[in-house]
Amino acid sequence: MADYILNAWYVAACSHEVGAEALFARRLLDRPVVLYRTEAGDPVALLDRCPHRFAYLSKGRRIGDQIECIYHGLRFGPDGACTRSPYQKTPPARAIVETFPVVERHRMLWIWMGDPALADPALIPDHSHMDNDAERPLVWHVKFDGNWQLGNDNLMELTHLFWLHTSTIGGWKEDAGQTPGEKYTARVENGKVLSRTLNTDVRRPSTFFNGVANGVPYDSWNDTEWVAPANMKFTMGAVPTGTGHIVETPYMVQSHCITPETATSSHYFSGFSRIFQLEGGPEVDERFVAFFKGIFDREDGPMMADIQEQMGDADLLDLDPVILPRDSGAILVRRVVAQRLAEETAQVTARVA
Amino acid sequence: MADYILNAWYVAACSHEVGAEALFARRLLDRPVVLYRTEAGDPVALLDRCPHRFAYLSKGRRIGDQIECIYHGLRFGPDGACTRSPYQKTPPARAIVETFPVVERHRMLWIWMGDPALADPALIPDHSHMDNDAERPLVWHVKFDGNWQLGNDNLMELTHLFWLHTSTIGGWKEDAGQTPGEKYTARVENGKVLSRTLNTDVRRPSTFFNGVANGVPYDSWNDTEWVAPANMKFTMGAVPTGTGHIVETPYMVQSHCITPETATSSHYFSGFSRIFQLEGGPEVDERFVAFFKGIFDREDGPMMADIQEQMGDADLLDLDPVILPRDSGAILVRRVVAQRLAEETAQVTARVA
Amino acid sequence: MADYILNAWYVAACSHEVGAEALFARRLLDRPVVLYRTEAGDPVALLDRCPHRFAYLSKGRRIGDQIECIYHGLRFGPDGACTRSPYQKTPPARAIVETFPVVERHRMLWIWMGDPALADPALIPDHSHMDNDAERPLVWHVKFDGNWQLGNDNLMELTHLFWLHTSTIGGWKEDAGQTPGEKYTARVENGKVLSRTLNTDVRRPSTFFNGVANGVPYDSWNDTEWVAPANMKFTMGAVPTGTGHIVETPYMVQSHCITPETATSSHYFSGFSRIFQLEGGPEVDERFVAFFKGIFDREDGPMMADIQEQMGDADLLDLDPVILPRDSGAILVRRVVAQRLAEETAQVTARVA
């Protein structure tokens, strides 16, 4: 069975990471990719490997919309075709670089590394909350030393907030698991996994302003929508305890998208839009990004690395882990992923046979 | 054939390394182990891996005699049973952490990682010379990048003192191998390997006071008792040359216990009791520990690493080394070890069949 | 098929690297080698591994023309025989260290690591231009993280000068590949590969004085002679454009000799003799060496490492690279190498059968 779902959109980079001029290199699904923008600003993704002697094209130079290899000067256009070989009248016909469909949406660049014929932009997961400038959407990139599925496991249940993140974002519920009315549900719907987490009678201030006045006990909720392979949207809200229903206006919507780098390392693109602290200059946003990056790099990231170290080359489920009730979302996700991987393997086998 | 003898006591830590409160993590026989003490001071050893998502328990926190996993709050007692799962009324029955018998003796914590039914404390090698406070026993921990059997090889013959340790502890015999009366014997007795080394007419001062007045040529002896897998006790004495017999009162008794970390790295627990320099504060002991640690880290440790590098994945004896007369103790040790490994493999095979 | 051609002379070290006293260690063809000079100055090469417990002999000490192992004092002569084992009357007969034929020539030490019976010094490639003190020959050592054959590929065509070396030695031809009269030929002759590169109407100053007055457009040429496994000699000249013929007096002759360290790392010995800047003290030579080392370490070396990274464990040709007309020399070289490797494999097979 393959390690990666190939026929899917993955985030390759935050929009702001790929500037107007520079060539941007990143390993995705264990293949080297070079990303750049044409002079018109359109994103381009090529295999980052010259077909001549395998130099990284990302170390070459931009010449208009083309890349010139730094080793022997072969030039390639955004379509991957060789346009010039210095010591030949006609570039060699075989000198073609693989290209990947890439679409810019929701402040991220989405890449499709499977069969290009199937690359339908309508399949890009909806993170349109990131499109609203008024809610000052932010997105950033971090990495972790673990298999990409560990990212799904980590994000599909949020009880770890009260243990791993005690001193940062999770400290707002001291008696987690002991308060009447706490609820967790998870279900599969149209290939998506939807989960809802309800915390009740929270008596400590939230890390962020959540719409409830300070000092008032509140109930909080987090609706998670997971789309394969590893895209999650968190819709988070709160309401004073005893109000009797859950407010439908979230104070924050978060995006969490994971892209395999290798079998044991992953890119993690994270972001959010908000309805609070909307005033102030860029330093406000910079503080938010530094805050969330810091939490991941000090708390979640090392945990993913530890688990990968404990697992070695094995798959988590093959190691017979204990499953808790709150893992049901993560387990549903692993089932959908396993089915998608099996389907792709079957398709490849059918094609070969 | 297995790489490690499983049914044996190994030193897991010096007593002083595992304090009253902190969780202590160490890799032993290629498995992660967490050591701590109950509030009553009794040592506990658990597999350092939460059975839920495989976080290191040693990164969690002590709650009385229990450990709470930092990832999702599962709690485990010293017997390895899960006592609490926050979002469940009853902890999952399968949530059990493997425990290891552990005994504190001779200022060291001894662990048994094989069949617990066989863990008889009477099998712990005798290092009772470390129990006598009046002889100010000291024990410390270092590591080396080599297979644990290289430690046996290194310690079972002491001629390397005059070459590898020329500038430190070995410099007291300039014409090693050339003095009449030098002797070396080694034999197996009840599964132990016993060797005796006699140096004669030594005319330079010993590194330590050995009971012979300064300036007087002396004969010195070292009796080594080896107990599988890798426990050695050195009893060291000296007498003026020509006295005609060997004094039975040692000036120093040393302990050398090696525990595999992985197939190519090892823990080395070393210590000694003495009858000299018994006055003075803790700074005297600290100087001794620093002196011996320094010798190992600069002289023996790099040599073990070099040999492992030269051997690659092979076993030393499979590489057909030249055997010298003074290797007879080390060779006897390798034979006993090979037999023990073969016996354990046979037992496992018998059980499976 | 083997990874290395064994029956061949390789450069083991620059003459100046192996001094009168010190033992010099270097990994060659994935084996540890210790080099030193006898008191008479003759170079000696031994396997850098004591046959007793596999300590590196290079960490031992020189005793006259012998090496004494630092671990247990065994001594070995330049012929590899053990001359002394401290605790034995007669050294063990099996205690023999493998020796390698080594010849000092052209300011380099050449080693033969295959069948010693075939080690004919007449097979050492001719770099006699390095023997002429009047042309101030220089030779130095660098390393790169790539298979040794990548060094052949890199040096057998020189168009990369105009891209990879734009800012250093290659910047002297702006319209490479576009000037009438440019020529490149390559052919095999008696197992050697000979190539000739002609650049025409060069209008920028050469990096070095090439015999043509400043400001005068010139034609330049580079004749390369390759001898297996990886020895190249560049003969470089220039003449004013329109002179109508190529001057036979080179301004510089370069030596490039590559020796495998491991399958994915290589030693690169480089040097040259010249007819310019012959005045001045050693600081002139030091500047030249620093200049060329710097170029390799910053430009070629990282490129070799990149290509190796892209190739992983595969062979370049198995990855189906695009071949350009100017690669013909490199391809001829790879063919000769493949044939030599196949021949050696066949001989070994024949001997075994």
Matching residue, tokens 């290899």: A69
CA distance B62 to chain A (A): 13
pLDDT at B1: 43
Query: Does residue C163 sit at the A interface (CB-CB below 8 Å)?
Result: yes
pLDDT at A244: 72
The CATH class for the domain spanning A128-344 reads alpha beta
CB neighbours of A141 closer than 8 A, spacing ≥ 6? A13, A14, A17, A267, A268, A269, A270
- Residue B139 and residue B14 in contact, taking contact as beta carbons nearer than 8 Å: yes
Mean pLDDT of chain B: 94
The answer to whether residue A204 scores a pLDDT higher than 90 is no
Task: Categorize the per-residue pLDDT at B304 as very low, low, confident or very high, splitting at 50, 70 and 90.
Answer: very high
Asked if C164 lies within 8 A of A70 by C-beta distance, the reply is yes
List where CATH 3.90.380.10 sits in chain A.
128-344
C205 phi/psi in degrees, rounded to 5: -60, 145
Q: Are the Cβ atoms of C310 and A54 closer than 8 angstroms?
A: yes
B191-218 average pLDDT score = 89
Mutate to test the interface with A, among B58, B72, B96 (most CBs of A within 10 A): B72
In chain C, % of residues over pLDDT 90:
82
At residue C347, the pLDDT reads: 86
Predicted confidence at residue B256, as pLDDT, reads: 98
Tell me whether residues A68 and C163 touch, CB distance under 8 A: yes
Query: Are A86 and C177 within 8 A, CB to CB?
Result: yes
pLDDT of residue C173: 67
Segment B7-21 shows an average pLDDT of 97
C214 CA: distance to closest CA in chain A (Å): 27
Residue in chain B closest to C61 (alpha carbons) equals B163
Task: Please give the mean pLDDT across all residues of chain A.
Answer: 94
- What percent of chain A lies above the pLDDT cut of 70? 97
Question: What mean pLDDT comes out for the span A299-305?
Answer: 98
Residues of chain A with CATH 2.102.10.10: 9-123
Please report which confidence band the pLDDT of residue B205 belongs to, taking 50, 70 and 90 as the band edges: confident
Q: Report the length, in residues, of chain C.
A: 353
> Are C5 and C341 a contacting pair, CB within 8 Å?
yes
pLDDT score of B283: 95
Interior angle at CA A297, CA A294 and CA A302, nearest 5:
145
B307 touches chain C (CB under 8 A): yes
User: Is C87 in contact with B163 (Cβ distance < 8 A)?
Assistant: no
Please tell me the predicted confidence (pLDDT) of residue B96: 98
pLDDT beyond 50 at C1: no
Q: Does A310 touch chain B (CB under 8 A)?
A: yes
pLDDT band at C205 (very low <50, low <70, confident <90, very high): confident
Residue pairs spanning B and C at CB distance below 8 A: 65
Closest approach of A83 to chain C, Cα-based (Å): 14
- Residues of chain A with Cβ-Cβ distance to C319 below 8 Å are 54
Enter the pTM of the model. Answer: 0.94
pLDDT in tens, B47-88: 999 999 999 999 999 999 999 999 999 999 999 999 999 999
Rounded mean pLDDT, A218-246: 91
pLDDT at A294: 96
What does chain A come to in residues? Answer: 353
Contact A87 C321 (CB under 8 A): no
- Identify the pLDDT of residue B301: 98
Task: Give the other-Cβ count within 10 Å of C312's Cβ.
Answer: 8
Q: How far apart are CA B232 and CA B329, in angstroms?
A: 12
CA distance A179 to chain B (A): 10
Among A149, A150, A154, A163, the strongest candidate for a mutation testing the B interface, having the largest count of B CBs within 10 A, is A163
* pLDDT(B174) > 80: no
Which tens digits make up the pLDDT trace of A317-331?
999 999 999 999 999
Positions of CATH 2.102.10.10 in chain B: 9-122
Q: Do A306 and B54 touch (CB under 8 A)?
A: yes
pLDDT of C138 > 50? The answer is yes
* pLDDT digits 0-9 by tens, A234-279: 999 999 998 876 767 899 999 999 999 999 999 999 999 999 999 9
Please tell me the predicted confidence (pLDDT) of residue A247. 66
The conformation of residue C241, written as its DSSP 8-state character, comes to T
**Interface contact B163, partner C, CB < 8 A:** yes
For the domain with range B9-122, which CATH number is right: 3.40.50.150, 3.40.1020.10, 2.102.10.10, 3.30.1330.10? 2.102.10.10
Indicate the range of A180-194, A204-218, C118-132, C213-227 predicted with least confidence.
A204-218
**Fold for domain C9-123?**
Rieske Iron-sulfur Protein (2.102.10)
C-alpha distance from residue A30 to each of A204, A266, A307, C75, C231 (Å): 44, 10, 20, 51, 36
CB atoms within 10 A of CB B280: 10
Beta-sheet pairing, B138-144 with B183-189 = unpaired
B274-293 pLDDT, tens digit each: 999 999 999 999 999 999 99
| Nearest CB neighbour to A163, from listed B73, B94, B95 | B73
Residue B324 has its nearest CB partner, among C49, C70, C88, at C88
A140 in contact with C, Cβ within 8 Å = no
In one-letter notation, the amino acid at residue B184 is Y
Contact B319 C54 (CB under 8 A): yes
Question: CB of A322 within 8 Å of any CB in chain B?
Answer: yes
CATH number, domain B126-344 = 3.90.380.10
pLDDT in tens, C27-55: 999 999 999 999 999 999 999 999 999 99
- CB contact, 8 Å: B312 with chain C? no
Counting one residue from chain A and one from chain C, the pairs whose CB atoms sit within 8 A come to 65
Give the tens place of pLDDT for each residue, C267-288: 999 999 999 999 999 999 999 9
Mean pLDDT of the region A7-24? 97
Q: A98-151, pLDDT tens digit by residue?
A: 999 999 999 999 999 999 999 999 999 999 999 999 999 999 999 999 999 999
Inter-chain contact C54–B163, Cβ cutoff 8 Å?
Answer: no
Task: Please tell me which of the candidates A59, A87, A94 has its beta carbon nearest to residue C159.
Answer: A87
**Pairwise CA distance, residues A251 & A275, whole Å:** 6
Contacts of C164 in chain A (CB under 8 A): 70-71
**Helix H or strand E segment including B33:** strand B31-37
**3-state SS class at B267:** strand
Q: Which long-range contacts (CB under 8 A, 24 or more apart) does B168-174 make?
A: B168/B207, B168/B295, B168/B299, B169/B207, B169/B295, B171/B204, B171/B207, B172/B202, B172/B204, B172/B205, B172/B206, B172/B207, B173/B199, B173/B202, B173/B204, B174/B203, B174/B204
Q: Residues B296-322: what's their mean pLDDT? A: 96
Cβ–Cβ contact B61 with A under 8 A: no
CB atoms within 10 A of CB A351: 7
Size of interface A-B (CB pairs under 8 A): 67
Nearest chain A Cα to C312, which residue? Answer: A54
Q: Does the pLDDT value for residue C176 go beyond 70?
A: yes
Other chains touching A, judged by 3 or more CB pairs under 8 Å: B, C
Q: Closest Cα of chain A to C236: distance in Å?
A: 21
Residue A71 with chain C: CB contacts under 8 Å? 160, 163-164, 303
Task: State whether B85 and A324 contact (CB < 8 Å).
Answer: yes
* CB atoms A319 and B88 under 8 Å: no
Q: What is the 3-state secondary structure (H, E, C) of chain A?
A: CCCCCCCCEEEEEEHHHCCCCCCEEEEECCEEEEEEECCCCCEEEEECCCCCCCCCHHHCEEECCEEECCCCCCEECCCCEEEECCCCCCCCCCCECCEECEEEECCEEEEECCCHHHCCHHHCCCCHHHHCHHHCCEEEEEEECCCHHHHHHHHCCCHHHHCCCCCCCCCCCCCCCCCCCCEEEEEEECCEEEEEEEEEEECCCCCCCCCCCCCCCEEEEEEEEEECCCEEEEEEEEEECCCCCCCCCCCEEEEEEEEEEECCEEEEEEEEEECCCCCCCHHHHHHHHHHHHHHHHHHHHHHHHHHHHHHCCCCHHHHCCCCCHHHHHHHHHHHHHHHHHHHHHHHHHHHHC
Dihedral pair phi/psi, residue C302, rounded to 5°? -60, -35
| Cβ-based contacts of B160 with chain C (< 8 Å) | 71-72
Q: Name which residue leads in pLDDT, A353 or A235.
A: A235
**Residue limits of CATH 3.90.380.10 in chain B:** 126-344
The answer, for C181 touching chain A at a CB cutoff of 8 Å, is no
Q: Does B319 touch chain C (CB under 8 A)?
A: yes
CB distance from A200 to chain B under 8 Å? no
Chain B nearest-CA distance from A208, in A, is: 23
Q: Worst-scoring range by mean pLDDT, A72-86, B127-141, B181-195, B241-255?
A: B241-255
The region, left, alpha or beta by phi > 0 then psi within -120 to 50, assigned to residue B247 is beta
Q: Per DSSP, what are the bridge partners of residue A187?
A: A194
B162, B182, B319 member nearest C73 (Cβ):
B162
Q: Encode pLDDT of B230-255 as tens digits.
A: 999 999 999 999 887 676 789 999 99
Give A-chain residues touching B53 at CB under 8 angstroms.
153, 307, 316, 321
Candidate from B32, B49, B87 with C-beta closest to A177: B87
Residue A68, chain C, CB below 8 Å: the answer is yes
Interface contact flag, A307 B55, Cβ < 8 Å: yes
pLDDT at B91 > cutoff 90: yes
